[in-house]
């Protein structure tokens, strides 16, 4: 099916705060007949080496201004936006079927629309543009990258490389709690008393490996050994299979870190982006 995207860019205003190392531009853009609202952070005192769209994790997430600023401090422009139905973005926030096929597809379309905004920015001409995100973004970003030719790289913090159902089995077993003694995925599935059944009303059981197998851009996954939300061992197995087939998919596992590990590992991600962008 041919993917058709129409984007409307509106620069509302530019914030140039005294003493700050970034310039902030407010934008609105269309995705599937919904107006989304976001901000672009541009490095002010250093050259721009790359740009990213930051994709949300689960929940009612507004634009991640803190991380946009951190990217800009590293010389990486960033577009962050309010999730559809949240903050200043239009549309409806999906809660009951947030991991369903339709919603994952919609969120991927939103990320593609945000990428199109960056691709039209005059300050970013000829620079590599990519996708970065955390947690649920592990299902959204590969699909968005499959739908668009714009992204040249992707970075995932605690991004599952497994089906939604597999993550659900694991996180239910761990009660979604980080810890020092995280079970393996095999332990989680073998503990079940009844066979897991994927609800038909959610559509396809999304598997990022389907998109990752088709992509030809580099990627970086950052995991923590204490992550009780995502089956890290299973995700690494899937990444290793993809790597053996020739994909440039790097991963790093940090001892003692849990699911929300961006603060401790941000420099690892930004350094990787800078290195592959040269």
Q: Is the pLDDT of residue 5 over 50?
A: no
> Which range, of 7-11, 151-155, 208-212, 233-237, averages the lowest pLDDT?
7-11
- pLDDT for 2: 27
- Between β-strands 10-15 and 22-31, what pairing exists: parallel, antiparallel or unpaired? antiparallel
Q: Is the pLDDT of residue 18 over 90?
A: no
Structure tokens at 56: 């949300």
- pLDDT for 220: 98
Residues 78, 219: Cα–Cα separation, whole Å = 17
- pLDDT for 240: 98
Can you say whether residue 228 is alpha, beta or left, with left for phi > 0 and alpha for psi between -120 and 50 degrees?
alpha
Residues 136, 107: Cα–Cα separation, whole Å = 10
Q: What is the mean pLDDT of residues 225-245?
A: 98
Give the Cβ contact number of residue 89 at 10 Å. 22
Residues 24, 200: Cα–Cα separation, whole Å = 43
CA atoms within 13 A on the CB side of 26: 8
Binning pLDDT at 50, 70 and 90, where does residue 188 land? very high
- pLDDT for 100: 97
Q: Which domains does the chain show, CATH number per domain?
A: 10-277 (3.40.50.1820)
Q: Is the pLDDT of residue 50 over 90?
A: yes
- Report the b/e string of 260-275 with b at 16+ CB within 10 A: bbbeebbebbbebbee
pLDDT tens digits, residue range 96-134? 899 999 999 999 999 999 999 999 999 999 999 999 999
- pLDDT for 19: 54
Mean pLDDT of the chain: 93
Write the secondary structure of the chain as one string of H (helix), E (strand) and C (coil): CCCCCCCCCEEEEEECCCCCCEEEEEEEEEECCEEEEEEEEEECCCCCCEEEEEECCCCCCCCCHHHHHHHHHCCEEEEEECCCCCCCCCCCCCCCCCCCHHHHHHHHHHHHHHHHHHHCCHHHCCCCEEEEEECCHHHHHHHHHHHCCCCCEEEEECCCCCCHHHHHHHHHHHCCCCCCCCCCHHHHHHCCCCCCCCCHHHCCCCCHHHHHCCCCCCEEEEEECCCCCCCHHHHHHHHHHHHHCCCCEEEEEECCCCCCCHHHHHHHHHHHHHHHHC
pLDDT tens digits, residue range 59-81? 999 999 999 999 999 999 999 99
Closest C-alpha among 158, 183, 159 to residue 173: 183
Residues 61, 86: Cα–Cα separation, whole Å = 7
pTM score: 0.92
Binning pLDDT at 50, 70 and 90, where does residue 20 land? confident
CA atoms within 13 A on the CB side of 115: 26
Residues 134, 234: Cα–Cα separation, whole Å = 17
- pLDDT for 46: 81
N residues, the chain: 278
Q: What percent of the chain has pLDDT over 90?
A: 91
């Amino acid at each position: 099916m041919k993917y058709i995207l129409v984007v409307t860019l509106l620069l509302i205003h530019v914030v140039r705060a005294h003493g700050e190392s970034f310039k902030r531009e407010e934008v609105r853009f269309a995705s599937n007949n919904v107006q989304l609202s976001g901000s672009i952070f541009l490095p002010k005192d250093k050259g721009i080496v790359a740009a990213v769209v930051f994709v949300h994790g689960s929940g009612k997430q507004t634009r991640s201004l803190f991380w946009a600023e951190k990217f800009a401090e590293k010389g990486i422009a960033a577009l962050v936006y309010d999730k559809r139905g949240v903050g200043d973005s239009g549309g409806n926030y999906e809660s009951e079927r947030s991991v369903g096929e339709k919603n994952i597809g919609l969120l991927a379309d939103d990320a593609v629309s945000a990428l199109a905004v960056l691709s039209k920015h005059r300050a970013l001409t000829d620079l590599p543009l990519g996708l970065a995100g955390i947690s649920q973004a592990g299902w959204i970003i590969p699909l968005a990258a499959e739908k668009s030719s714009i992204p040249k790289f992707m970075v995932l913090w605690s991004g599952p490389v497994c089906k939604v159902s597999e993550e659900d089995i694991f996180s239910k077993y761990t009660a979604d709690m980080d810890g020092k003694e995280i079970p393996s995925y095999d332990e989680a599935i073998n503990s079940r008393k009844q066979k897991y059944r994927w609800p038909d009303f959610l559509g396809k059981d999304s598997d990022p490996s389907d998109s990752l197998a088709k992509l030809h851009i580099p990627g970086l996954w950052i995991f923590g050994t204490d992550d009780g939300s995502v089956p890290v061992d299973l995700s690494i197995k899937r990444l290793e299979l993809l790597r053996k087939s020739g994909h440039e998919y790097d991963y790093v596992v940090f001892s003692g870190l849990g699911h929300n590990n961006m603060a401790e590992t941000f420099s690892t991600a930004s350094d990787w982006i800078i290195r592959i962008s040269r």
